[in-house]
Amino acid sequence: MNKVTGITLAMGMLAVVSCGTNQGTGALIGAGGGALVGGIIGKLAGNTAVGAAIGGAVGAGTGAIIGRHMDKVAEQAKQIENAKVEKVQDANGLEAVKVTFDSGILFATNKADLNASSKSALAKFSNTLKSNNLLLVDIYGHTDSSGNDGINIPLSNKRAQSVANYLMQCGVSSSQFKNITGKGSSEPVADNSTAAGKQQNRRVEVYLYASKAMVDAANNGTLK
């Protein structure tokens, strides 16, 4: 992933100062999001499904409106350095956005403290969430296979929570967060026998998907 440029870092440091004025709650939000589409449950990479069925069917037209909105969200997220952006499906078959932050950049080895460049990237990312406040957010921390579950699961939990806390410090509403958790080393995306593979596996994934309010807005024709 590309390094943050000097200009972006300088701008981001201003955001770091402003985002650091509020304390994040770190609370886990239990509200469900998404909508049932023909009873089809979509599985994301790493066997992680985001969103929760709320009952009732969503027509193709509503799904298309949400899809177009998610296209815009993905384009906004692509402006963030050190992040990989993908289109995925949520647990209900609706389009969603997956943003992967490399933990090798976000955190020092065996640490859960965000560094300055990571705060810069997350401060910019927070603007995407704040300008799309009908999105729900899941955050999953991952580690490589070094160590054991007794180390990796708590570490991945702390990393996911660090990202969530900082986004909330930057003004993202706690009500947008549904799941904040660590997966340890259980869902690798690369070969843990190589240094490059371990680097890819040390990551934080953020999933952005439709809330019930977004589905309602799409049904009402008010979702832009």
Among 201, 159, 198, 166, which Cα is nearest to 182's?
A: 159
pTM of whole model > 0.85?
no
User: Residue type for 116, please?
Assistant: A
pLDDT per residue of the chain (224 residues) written in tens, 0 to 9: 444 333 333 334 344 444 754 333 222 222 233 332 222 223 333 335 677 675 556 677 889 999 999 999 999 999 998 889 999 999 878 999 999 998 888 887 788 999 898 999 999 999 999 999 999 999 999 999 998 999 999 999 999 999 999 999 999 999 999 999 999 999 999 999 999 998 889 999 999 999 999 999 998 889 98
Q: Give the Cα separation of 153 and 141 in Å (integer).
A: 9
